[in-house]
Structure 1
Amino acid sequence: MFRARFVTATMAVAALSASLSACSNTEDSTQPKQSQVAVAKDSALAAMVPARFKGGVNVASGVYAPMEMLTESGKFTGFDYDLGQAIGGKLGIGFRFENQDFDTIIPSLQSGKHNIIINGMNDTAERQKTLDFVDYFHAGMAILVKKGNPDHVGTVLDLCGKSVAVAKATVQSDLMKTESRKCPGVGKPAMKLVEVPAETDAQLAVRASKATADVLDAAPAEYAAVTAGSGKLFEVVHDSQHPGGYAPVNTGIGVLKKDHDLTLALQAALKSLIQDGTYKQMLAKYKLTPYAIDAALINGKA
């Protein structure tokens, strides 16, 4: 999307991973338990499921707490997992979640490995060229820094000249490239973007002082600040000019355009969950109520 070249960190991902291997996860909070979501099948909705998906759908996902988390035994849990199970319950089909690297998650649908994406994926115009989105969440992006904010970051432009960790192939990566272009205008050098494979790597980079900040969606940022190391590792920068986060966008379930009949079934099931209150109950469970949507949309439209 962006043609301009930006300063990037010279460290390779492999070197970053090696340098972070000494960071122990023992400080982090107790592993979450897998949720058991019981939602009754709706026969009218189940009739909307295309015949080729009657055996269930394979879901491309990842780890992006509290949207997706893993239990000690490696099973998925989190808001997105619960939502998937609830939609599957309404439709009378199974949703099988599998881990997939985010930068290969769309190709995994195109190859037939997976059928849909539920991974906190932002609904953007660029992605809509390939996918349709059943939108279920709305939030901006936030800046996560070490506890105590040692570099005194107050706004996004305070990151000019500093190392910023972002997960590859994300909206956050595009956002920071755009923000970095503004740095010369305020008399500062460009940001040094450290693109890593996953959000967990970005947080490790901040913990190991390989990056000043991690930029990610607001909900996972707030969750990390409260839970990681029992709340002793990170804090979220609250910019008074952007109280809801930077560049708020919809998050949706990604479906290939050729599977529009499945998209309509997913939208109908989500609409039912919103109407019967199940959706709000799940949001409240993960303290995500501020990011609720009012209606089930496709590509941001009714």
Structure 2
Amino acid sequence: MKNETPRLRSRRSRFAAATAVAAAALLALTACGGSTQTASTSSAAVAAGTSVPEIALNEAAIKMLPEAVKTSKVLRVGIPTNEQPTQYFLEGTQELTGVNPDIARLIGASLGLKVEIQVANFDSIIPGMAAGRYDMTVSSMTPTKERMKVLDFVDYMAMGNSIAVAKGNPTGIAKYQDLCGKKVGLLTGSYQLTVNIPEYNKDCVAAGKPEIVSNQYQDTRQAISALTSGRQDAVLADSPILDFAASKNPTLEIASAYDFTPVAAGVPIESGLKDPVAAALAEIIKSDAYKQVLAKYGLEASAITDARVNFAQ
């Protein structure tokens, strides 16, 4: 939108900046990082929607894999849930579907690896990677300079930022500048919470307005529930999530959508996975399988044409 400043790169799911020193500290925090479980893939779940289109093996990328991964033939991927359509459990199951799990599965298929999805709270993924529980994350994470101190990133799609409000927009929010003094629901550890809100608050103070009242939730669904029950004035999160919620919930509407930028798959530095994942994604984003996965979730407009490596937002 014209009234959004370019310096405010709105992205989510990317959380608290981790420095090299913080990475070591994260190892000590893994016991309190939230629950983790494995999302299995049964034949029934595949039929219901956790399968992905076939994609050719990328032999050149496979040759680049570190020996440990070649031996295990498993790619452990940390992904949160309750964020439809990006990642969510199929109703009545522990089978994870959504665009992020499917992109992870395409990467695994391209590399000839079995993808083992580990479901965890969003803010526990970086500590989990520091502790060696995950090989990769595909969780709509924005690549930033701070995160690049502990992770390598490869772009895989683009997402925007949206502000959801109650139907009829009783608080009159039309853009992020209108959030000053408002109660806003945000995902714990998200880019919106850790980067956007501090920047927005600077603008609020400069304009002589009260700062945003930030309230954190472990998933966006909880934030939306707080909005619809009148406990929040707005929710700030990734566009696909809030757009989907508004399409299903007649009590919601989108007040503003802006600043579409790439999100990236992250792998630990020194893991040896950056080059094979980059080679795999470079071919995946050219494939029909990639287009089909995005179309499955109504996200065709999120396609990218360049799987950039470590391109900071």
Q: Who is 2:20 aligned against?
A: none
Tell me which of 51, 60, 64 is aligned to 1:36: 51
The equivalent of 2:118 in structure 1 is: 98
Structure 2 residue ranges without an equivalent (≥5)? 1-15, 18-46
Q: Is contact 1:145–1:235 with CA below 8 Å preserved after alignment?
A: yes
Find the aligned partners of 1:124 and 1:233 in 2 and give their Cα distance. Answer: 35
Please give the alpha-carbon distance, in whole angstroms, between the structure 2 residues aligned to 1:123 and 1:205. Answer: 29
How far 1:263 sits from its partner (Å)? 1.4
Question: What is the aligned length?
Answer: 262
1:125 matched to 2:145? The reply is yes
* 1:66 alignment counterpart: 85
1:208 and 2:229 matched = yes
Q: Report the Cα offset of residue 285 of structure 1.
A: 2.0
Contact 1:206 1:214 in 2 (8 A): yes
Task: Return the letter of the residue paired with 1:284.
Answer: A
**Structure 1 stretch 163-172 or stretch 271-280: which is displaced more?**
271-280
**1:51 lines up with 2:67 in the alignment:** yes
Post-superposition Cα deviations, 1:138-194, rounded to whole Å, max 9, x if no partner, equal 233110112222212111121211101111211100202210222233342111111
Helix, strand or coil for the counterpart of 2:141?
Answer: coil
- Report 1:1-302 matches (<5 A): 33-37=48-52, 38-54=54-70, 55-63=73-81, 64-72=83-91, 73-173=93-193, 174-227=195-248, 231-238=249-256, 245-246=258-259, 248-259=260-271, 261-300=272-311
Is the 8 Å Cα contact of residues 33 and 77 (structure 1) preserved in structure 2? no
1:66 counterpart SS class? coil
C-alpha displacement at 1:33, in angstroms?
4.0
How much does 1:236 deviate? 1.1
Q: CA deviation at 1:118?
A: 1.1
Aligned equivalents of 1:197, 1:226: Cα separation in 2: 22
- Native 8 Å contact 1:58 1:114 kept in 2: yes
Alpha-carbon distance in 1 for matches of 2:56, 2:305:
22
Give the direction of change, closer, same or farther, for the CA distance of 1:44–1:153 in structure 2 (3 Å limit): same
Share of identical aligned residues, percent?
29
TM-score, normalised with respect to structure 1? 0.81
